[in-house]
Amino acid sequence: MKQAYQTYMDSVEVSPALHQKLLGLSAPRREIRWRRYGSLAAALVVLIGTAAFVLGRLGANRDLFTPHHGSSIGGYEVLEGDASTYVELPYIAYGTDSTGSSLVDYALLAPEGSVERELTEADILTLVGGETALEAHLDWEGLTWSGQGIFLSDGSLWHLYLWGEGSDLAVSLDLLAGDEIPPDCVITEADTVTDVMGVSVKGYVSGIYGKDDEETGETVVWLPESRTVEFAANGAGYRFQVYGSEGESQRVEMLVSRFVRLAIADGLNLTMTPAEQ
C-alpha cells in the first residue's frame, strides 16, 4: 500500500510557483481549537500528508458546467411497515482536475458567547432524522463517529464537524448554519457544478485518506477513492466527503448522492442542545 502511495506521489507534477507555495505552506490558522483525537484528527489533516490532499485537487483544467438537471444514478428501496418506497438518487458530476486553485490562510471565528462540545451518537441521529435516515437513507450503519459542535448563546447550532470511519469507508461533514459554505484552506476557482433540485452542487475528487499504525508504522487504512460536494440548502452550508476503497467509485458516488438528496429534499435538523443530555 505504501508503494502505491509513493507511485501516486511520484506521478504528480506541479508548477514551480505551486512548488514554492507548498514549501512555504503552514497549517491553516483557525480560532476554533478542535480537540485532536483519533480518526477526527486524521480527517482534519489527512494524515498521509497535507501535500497529498492538496495535490489531489490540483492539476489541469476543470470546466464549469451544469449538466443533467433532474437526472438520476439509480436509487434504493426503503421498507416502511408493509410498504416499500423507491427513492431516486440525483446524478452529480465530479471534476477531476483544476488549475484555478490557491492555498489560503483562513480563520473561522466562533461568535462571542458560543459554546463548544463533543457530539454524541444521539446528536447524529437528531441531525439526520433518526435511525431510519441514518441506516436506510444514508447507509451509514456501522461507522464509528466523532466530532464537535459549536452552539450560539441562544442555543442554536452554528457549526459542526463530523467524522465517521469504518474498515473500508470514511465520511466527513463540515456544516455551517446559514447560506455560506464552510471555509477551506484550498480555494478552487472553477469546478464542476450540477443542478440538483434547483441547488448548485459543486463536486470534485478530493484526494486520498490513509492512516498508519502508530506502533508498527503499517498502513491500516488506505482509501484512495474520494468525492467531495459543496452546496448550501435549507439553512446550512455543507462540505461532505466520502472516501472508499480502490475501485469503489460507484459506491462512493452513491453515498454522496444519498446525502445530497436528504439534505436538499428533507433538510437536516439543526435543533441540537448546547449541552449533552
Q: Give tens-digit pLDDT for 168-188.
A: 999 999 999 999 999 876 666
pLDDT of 34 reads: 35
Q: Does residue 273 form part of some domain?
A: no
Look up residue 133 and give its three cell numbers. 435516515
Angstrom distance (rounded) from CA 15 to CA 193: 26
C-beta neighbour count of 197 within 10 angstroms: 13
* Residue scoring higher pLDDT (132 or 40): 132
Q: Does residue 34 form part of some domain?
A: yes
**Amino acid type, 203:** G
- Structurally, the chain folds into a number of domains equal to 1
| H or E element that contains 89 | strand 83-90
What does the pLDDT look like over 78-124, one tens digit per residue?
Answer: 887 788 899 999 999 998 754 455 555 556 788 889 999 999 999 99
Q: 45: domain range? A: 2-266
Question: How large a percentage of the chain has pLDDT more than 90?
Answer: 51
pLDDT classification of 159: cutoffs 50, 70, 90:
very high
- In Å, what is the CA distance from 20 to each residue of 8, 15, 24, 25? 21, 9, 6, 9
pLDDT of 82 reads: 81
Buried b vs exposed e over 7-20: b needs ≥16 C-beta within 10 Å? Answer: eeeeeeeeeeebee
pLDDT of 80 reads: 76
Q: Does residue 80 form part of some domain?
A: yes
pLDDT of 11 reads: 46
* Average pLDDT of the segment spanning 205-214: 88
Q: Which of 57-61, 92-96, 107-111, 151-155 has the weakest average pLDDT?
A: 57-61
Q: Does residue 61 form part of some domain?
A: yes
* Residue scoring higher pLDDT (234 or 82): 234
pTM score of the predicted model: 0.72
pLDDT of 19 reads: 45
Contact 144, 165 (CB under 8 A): yes
Q: Does residue 275 form part of some domain?
A: no
What does the pLDDT look like over 9-33, one tens digit per residue?
Answer: 444 444 454 444 444 444 333 343 3
pLDDT classification of 8: cutoffs 50, 70, 90:
very low
Q: Which regions of 91-168 does DSSP assign to beta strands (E)?
A: 101-103, 115-118, 144-151, 157-165
Q: Does residue 16 form part of some domain?
A: yes
Q: Does residue 21 form part of some domain?
A: yes
Q: What is the mean pLDDT of the chain?
A: 77
Angstrom distance (rounded) from CA 259 to CA 75: 12
Q: Does residue 272 form part of some domain?
A: no
pLDDT of 107 reads: 61
**Amino acid type, 70:** G
pLDDT classification of 211: cutoffs 50, 70, 90:
confident
Closest CA to 137 of 270, 225, 244, 265: 265
